[in-house]
Amino acid sequence: MEDKEKKVGIVANIQKQFQKRERKKTNYISAHDSAKISRENRKITNIIERKRKRRFVPESEYLTTMHDEKNVVEFDNVHTYFFTDIGTVKAVDGVTFEVPFGKTVGVVGESGCGKSVTSLSLMQLVQRPQGQTVEGEIRFNSGDKAYNIVNAPASVMQMLRGNEMSMIFQEPMTSLNPVFRIGAQVDEVLFLHNKGMSKKDVKEKTISLLELVGIANSVGVYKMYPHELSGGMRQRVMIAIALACDPKLIIADEPTTALDVTIQAQILDILSDIKTKINSSIMLITHDLGVIAEMADYVVVMYAGRIVEKGTAQDIFNRPSHPYTIGLMKSKPVVGKDIERLYNIPGNVPNPINMPNYCYFKDRCEMSIDACNGAYPPFLKLSETHYVACYRYENTKEEGARNE
Ligand SMILES: Nc1ncnc2c1ncn2[C@@H]1O[C@H](COP(=O)(O)OP(=O)(O)OP(=O)(O)O)[C@@H](O)[C@H]1O
Ligand code: SF4
Ligand SMILES: [Mg+2]
């Protein structure tokens, strides 16, 4: 109860900051204002950090129950903010979706919409102290227990990261340590999570992992340094590290962005192969709709820190409903279709520090109607699996189907 009150206090504080700026009707921040914001931020983040750094956190604070046992992860109204000196960046602002066991969920949206911050919140790797998940629950199902990641202490996260969930990061070039050999970097993960394993067994497992991700000369690569590998090989090593402990969930954040098209296809093949081999779920983050179409069972479309549409891959590709999703679909080339110029969505994403109090997409929307002048649109249910946050569907929604 006390916790809830504190959180409400934190959110109220953030709203006060916004209202003050709104009253001044200016985007200019003087050094004096910036210092003041910084002081206020420190007050907020200190409260959260003090709570996080307690030596003993009772299990009751971070153990929870899944809403559906078939899900490996449930994001429930997650808010992750960055308390910066120029204001609060609402990077993730009320995100709700699930990742079912054995399925691939694609998270799509343009640059800066909060895809990476959503996944980093799940791994509790958001840059602290300025980055904090201030509201909501992220439930992770480890089989025998369900954890609320938002409240989980560092010791629990150390056990979950690598063992139960792992991440292939957006920048393969910078994620490997340049001064250690490839073998040592994969071995380290295995040692850390399998204390009883002998050195010989660890080395064998590392080499078999390198083979699993399609590295032909696995024994040779074991002894090499990252700079001796190509970009594609480094990305494969990253995948090998992510798979080292057979995690239940693999988060792949733009795993193919830095690679050429042929290597991209190979990496995606490896990912789907592995998913069936170790029966993992994949949360696949990308801005490439082609990759989503090929890999995902479910799709979540994000815009400016919020989900604007979600559904099965068929829902999204056969019946894209949110004007933003429709725009994304129109802006991808289609084989066999002659188009002089590809569509581009006009305008830019709103400033994340100063979000409007109406639909975030309105200023770019070519399909807006009168109702769009109201508050941010609610999430409407189009079918059992398909949801959209847009006023255009208010009258087409199923009876009593308003959700969240
Ligand atoms: N450490 C940070 N400090 C302040 N703001 C941050 C920080 N990290 C991310 N942000 C902000 O959070 C928002 C979401 O960023 P995020 O990295 O999640 O975008 P993304 O959807 O992954 O984009 P991309 O497709 O380019 O990777 C952006 O507005 C970004 O500026
Ligand atoms: S609510 Fe209105 S402005 Fe927003 S996306 Fe839908 S039609 Fe466009
Ligand atoms: Mg990103």
Shared-domain flag, residues 308 and 287: no
Pocket test for ligand 2, best of 361, 376, 380 (most atoms within 8 A of CB): 361
Mark whether 251 and 375 lie in a shared domain: no
Q: Is residue 33 part of a domain?
A: yes
Domain that residue 280 falls in? 165-295
Query: Is the Cβ atom of 350 under 6 angstroms away from ligand 1?
Result: no
Please give the structure tokens belonging to residue 366: 């070519």
The torsion region of residue 350 among left (phi > 0), alpha (psi -120 to 50) and beta comes to beta
Report d(CA 344, CA 124) in Å as an integer: 35
Question: Do 40 and 133 belong to one domain?
Answer: yes
Measured from the alpha carbon of residue 394, the closest ligand is 2
**Same-domain status, 59 and 104:** yes
Is residue 398 assigned to a domain? no
Question: Is residue 218 located within the same domain as residue 235?
Answer: yes
Q: Answer yes or no: is the C-beta of 304 below 6 A from any ligand 2 atom.
A: no
Domain-ending residue, one of 261, 295, 329 = 295
What integer pLDDT is reported at residue 12 of this predicted model? 72
CATH code (residue 233) = 3.40.50.300
Calculate how far, in angstroms, residue 19's C-alpha sits from the geometric centre of ligand 2: 24
Looking at the structure, tell me whether residues 315 and 357 fall in a common domain: yes
For the CA of 167, the nearest ligand: 3
Which-ligand-closest: CA of 365? 2
Q: What are phi and psi of 311, to 5 degrees?
A: 175, -170
In a domain, 403, yes or no: no
Of the bound ligands, which one is closest to the alpha carbon of residue 130?
Answer: 1
pLDDT one-digit tens code per residue, 62-71: 999 999 999 9
Residue 353 has a CB neighbour count (10 Å cut-off) of 17
b/e per residue 381-399 (b: at least 16 CB within 10 A):
bbeeebbbbbbbbeeebee
Which residue among 250, 271, 295 closes a domain?
295
Q: Whose alpha carbon is nearest atom 25 of ligand 1? A: 111
Cβ 127 under 6 angstroms from ligand 1: yes
Q: Which of 61-70, 251-260, 289-298 has the lowest mean pLDDT?
A: 251-260
CA–CA gap between residue 251 and residue 259 (Å, rounded) = 18
Q: The tokens of 182 are what? A: 């490839």
Q: Is the pTM of this model over 0.85?
A: yes
Residue ID of nearest Cα to ligand 2 atom 6:
390
One domain for residues 13 and 121: yes
Q: Are residues 275 and 303 in the same domain?
A: no
How many separate domains does the chain show?
Answer: 3
Same domain for 104 and 10: yes
Taking the centre of ligand 1 as the mean of its atom positions, its distance from the CA of residue 287, in whole angstroms, is: 14
Do 284 and 372 lie in a common domain?
A: no
Give the residues across from 252 on adjacent strands. Answer: 168, 284
Query: Are both 137 and 172 inside the same structural domain?
Result: no
Residue 136 domain flag: yes
Q: Is 129 in the pocket of ligand 1 (CB under 6 A)?
A: no
In a domain, 332, yes or no: yes
Rounded mean pLDDT, 153-167: 90
In a domain, 402, yes or no: no
Choose the final residue of a domain: 266, 295, 324.
295
Look at the block and give the residue holding tokens 């399998």: 194
Indicate whether 204 pLDDT > 70. Answer: yes
Atom of ligand 2 nearest to the CA of 391: 1
CB distance 240 to ligand 1 below 6 Å: no
What type of residue sits at position 197? M
Q: Tell me, in angstroms, the distance from the centre of ligand 2 to residue 225's CA.
A: 51
Residues 131, 41, single domain; the answer is: yes
* Cβ atoms of residues 307 and 104 within 8 Å: no
Is the CB–ligand 2 distance for residue 392 below 6 Å? Answer: yes
Q: pLDDT tens-digit profile of 4-51?
A: 666 666 667 766 766 666 555 556 678 888 888 889 889 989 998 888
Answer whether 360 contacts ligand 2 (Cβ < 6 A).
no
pLDDT tens for 328-379 read: 988 777 666 666 777 778 787 888 788 888 999 999 999 999 999 989 999 9
